[in-house]
Amino acid sequence: MKLTPLADRVVLKMVEVEETTRGGIILTGSAKEKPSVAEVISVGPGGNVDGKTITMTVKAGDKVITDKYAGSKVTLEDEEYIIVRQGDILAIVE
């Protein structure tokens, strides 16, 4: 199955980020606050949304930072995705 977002929606998959403390201990996602970095899986077409013309600026494969509580969680074929509006994306990570 494939998720195809509509309008200004973007399908994201959260990226597991490892961090190392100053002492050299590796913290996984279960040992710290949930990461807000995600990979863009698919992007809607944009267009006229709520009376405004929306041009999509993210593309599949981009790494982005999202608002912590944004979006709707969806599980498809044992994979968890988040569907957000483009406006809930705060930055593109390069």
- With CA atoms as reference, report the closest residue to 12 among 46, 44, 42: 42
Q: How far apart are the first and last CA of the chain?
A: 29
What pTM was computed for the model? 0.80
Helix (H, G, I), strand (E, B) or coil at 52: strand
Tell me what pLDDT residue 67 has.
Answer: 85
What's the CATH code, domain 9-93?
2.30.33.40
| Amino acid at the residue 66 | T
Q: Is the dihedral of CA 26, 30, 31, 33 positive or negative?
A: positive
Tell me what pLDDT residue 5 has.
Answer: 96
Tell me what pLDDT residue 83 has.
Answer: 97
Task: Provide the residue ranges of all domains of the chain, joining segments of one domain with +.
Answer: 9-93
- With CA atoms as reference, report the closest residue to 41 among 58, 66, 17: 58
pLDDT tens over the chain, length 94 residues: 789 999 999 999 998 765 666 677 666 555 455 558 999 999 999 999 889 999 999 999 999 999 888 999 999 999 999 999 999 999 999 8
Tell me what pLDDT residue 61 has.
Answer: 97
